[in-house]
Every structure is written in structure tokens, then in C-alpha cells.
Amino acid sequence: MPKVVDHNERRREVVRAVWRIVGRDGLDALTTRAVAREAGWSTGVLAHYFTDRTDLLVAAFRLVAEEAEARMRGRLAQHRDPVKALKAALGETVPLDEMRRTEARVWFAFLGLAAADASLRPEAERHYETWLGVMTEAVSAVLAEDQLAEHELRRIASRLVAHADGLTVQALFEPDRLSVADLKRQLEKCVADTLAAARIVGV
Amino acid sequence: MPKVVDHNERRREVVRAVWRIVGRDGLDALTTRAVAREAGWSTGVLAHYFTDRTDLLVAAFRLVAEEAEARMRGRLAQHRDPVKALKAALGETVPLDEMRRTEARVWFAFLGLAAADASLRPEAERHYETWLGVMTEAVSAVLAEDQLAEHELRRIASRLVAHADGLTVQALFEPDRLSVADLKRQLEKCVADTLAAARIVGV
């Protein structure tokens, strides 16, 4: 009987190998050769599933995005206090530990590719849309009594996401990098100021 | 008499060719072959100055960063009202027109490379440092009477820069992309809220 190859499972195996390499040796170490070695395959078999490094990076980005989203939803379900829930969910997307730092690198490497390659942008957009949706839910729970319209809640969520993205850029690329403590404080401050401004000054 | 080749001038010629390609055809069109054609050289001569596409992108990024910085300083010098000056300077770094949209793409493409390649990070850091310095000056002029310490002014500037970066990400990669009018309004709101929060709630 011929051996049945589960192609989806094979792709997942590769993505896990990508993730082990990136987590252990950094994004610099991600090459098709390294992935083939890590997965225990020939580069020829690997080429059957992933054509090049970009392809591998896109798969890694997808995994990052899905896991971050799952963690965000977990945080929202976990906290009773909606402000704590919102902060915890937003915190899942900034590099507060080594894992999220690696995730942020993968994310920005992908955005860099999407900046130069229009065909990758729908992928980035899809995940931003989900991310915005989750944050809009979180904001809605916090401001339940303020009777805001959906587009206003979304605008506030969008502002929080923009700020979290900007903090991530600083934590990765700025000269006196934000320490984890600084990053936490800035995130707290951003949530507090944004909610206060929405309540006092309006959306 | 042998012809004297001005190597720096040649490098600048190449960067201008890179810029014409990126501005006209998008970042997707940037290849060493296209640059050689645009500059009227052979790929062999080009290879003498730039080894690969990454090298070209780094040079393009450097040009973007320097020009954005020069425009920011120009804006600060141009406006008497320090709040207008600050808003105008910050606005130079977000994609409010086609040129700045192209610049933002080059910037993010570079950050993407730097996310994966530690050797590129000092270059990103140097320009963030300059950018933060210019914005700290701008904030200092606005809050001159509030007697804040340098590190507090820098923290406010850093918050504004983070927000501008996040808005740029949204303008480039989010599903319902920010229109130019939205982007302007969000930027106004971000400056107003950040300054108000600094004054009312503290840094």
C-alpha cells in the first residue's frame, strides 16, 4: 500500500521547525537550508512545500498572528475587570518577554516584506482586522455605559492598537530601548490616557 | 590623463536612481537590474558600489531618513506657534501624501530587514535618535513654562513618535486604511491628547 502523505501536517511540521529556529537562533538564522536540517528533510522535499525564505516567513507570521489572537481572546475571557482585560489583551501584542520579542521581530519582518510586495498586504490586513475586532470588543466592555456608537469604539480601539504598534517599534529599534518595566508603564499610561481622553474630551 | 571617478558622487547617482524607481514604480520594482538600467550603467559597474538589493534599500532608507529630518527641522523653524510647529514636524513622518507614502514604505521595508538582521539595527537606531531629538526640542518649546526635566520632555516626545509610527502602520497595512483626512485628524488628536494628559495627569 502506498504511504499516504498528509500535506497539511507536513506544512505544520515545517512551520514548527521555522519557529524553533527563530526562537532559538533568531530571525537571522532562518534559511531554507536550516529549516530542512531542523525538520530532518532534504531541501528538495522542503521546496515542495515552501518555495523560498519569504514563503517560510509568511507561514511564521501567520502562526504568530494566530497565536497572539488566541492569547488576546484568552485574556479577555480571563479577567472580570474589563480595564484589566483590555490591558492584558493589548499587552499580548507588545514584546514584554523573549517569546513576544521574537514574535514582534517576525511581525515586523513580515510588514517589511508587505511594504515592498503588494501581494502580501491582504494577509497583513486580515490579521489587523481581527486584532482590531478583538480590541473593539475589549473597549466596548470598558465603555459599556458611555453609549458610544460602534465606529467610535472602533476608533478608540484603533488608537490603542496604533500606540501598541509604536511602542513595539521603540522596543525593537530605538537607541535607548524600552525596558520591559518601561514598556509596561507606557502601555498602562497609553490605555489610561486614551480612555480618559475619550471620556473627557470625546472620541 | 586618466578619468577621475568620484565614487561618492557615483553612489549618490545610484541612490537617486533607486529613488526614482521606488517613487515611480513602487518598492516592488526595486532590483539591481532595474537600478543599473535607470542609472545607465552595467550591472557589473553597479556591483562595484552596491552588492545587492538590501544594500540599495539601506541607501534608500538613509536618504529617506535624512530628508525627513531636514523637513522636520524646516517645519520647526518655519512656524512661530510652537504647537503648530510640533504638529507640522510630526506630520512630516506620516504618509500624508504620495511622497511620504513611498518614504514610509521604504522605512518599513528597512525596519523589516533590521528585524531579521542585527547588523542593520544601529542604522535604524541612529535615525530614531535624531528624530527623537528633534521632537524633544519641539515639545520643549510647547511646554516651556511647565518646567519639565529633559527626560520628561523626551518621554513625551517618545510617546508622540510612537503614536506617529503606529498611525503609519495603520495607513499602510490596515484593512480600512486611514484616509489622508483621517490621518491628519488622528495626528491632531494624538498631539492634543498627549499634551493635555502631560499637563493634567503628569508625565
- Judge contact between A142 and A76, C-beta under 8 A: no
End-to-end CA distance of chain A: 65
pTM score, two decimals? 0.86
Nearest-neighbour CA in chain A from B40: distance (Å): 24
B14 pLDDT higher than 80: yes
The span from the CA of A61 to the CA of A126, in Å, is 12
> How many alpha carbons lie under 13 Å from residue B157 in its C-beta half-sphere?
26
Preferred mutation among A54, A193, A195 to probe B, highest tally of B CBs within 10 A: A193
In A, which residues are within 8 Å of B108 by CB distance? 108, 111-112, 115
For range B106-135, the mean pLDDT: 90
Supply the pLDDT for residue B177: 78
For range B143-167, the mean pLDDT: 92
Split at pLDDT 50, 70, 90, the class of A13 is confident
ipTM: 0.83
Quick one: which H or E segment has residue A138?
Answer: helix A121-142
Angle at the Cα of A75 from the Cα atoms of A72 and A81, rounded to 5 degrees:
130
Name the DSSP class of B167.
H
Closest CA to B184 of B81, B88, B83: B88
Report the mean per-residue pLDDT for chain B.
Answer: 89
C-alpha cell at B35: 537600478
Nearest-neighbour CA in chain A from B89: distance (Å): 17
CB atoms B28 and A116 under 8 Å: yes
In B, which residues are within 8 Å of A175 by CB distance? 125-126, 128-129, 132
Closest CA to A131 of A197, A201, A76: A76
CB atoms B162 and A159 under 8 Å: no
CB atoms B112 and A109 under 8 Å: yes
The span from the CA of B122 to the CA of A110, in Å, is 20
- Least-confidence region, from A125-139, A187-201, B99-113, B153-167: A187-201
The span from the CA of A156 to the CA of A192, in Å, is 12
Name the DSSP class of B5.
P
Give per-residue pLDDT as tens, A112-147.
Answer: 888 888 888 899 999 999 999 999 999 999 999 888
Identify the closest residue of chain B to A102 by CA–CA distance.
B115
Closest CA to A35 of A51, A171, A83, A77: A51
Supply the pLDDT for residue B52: 87
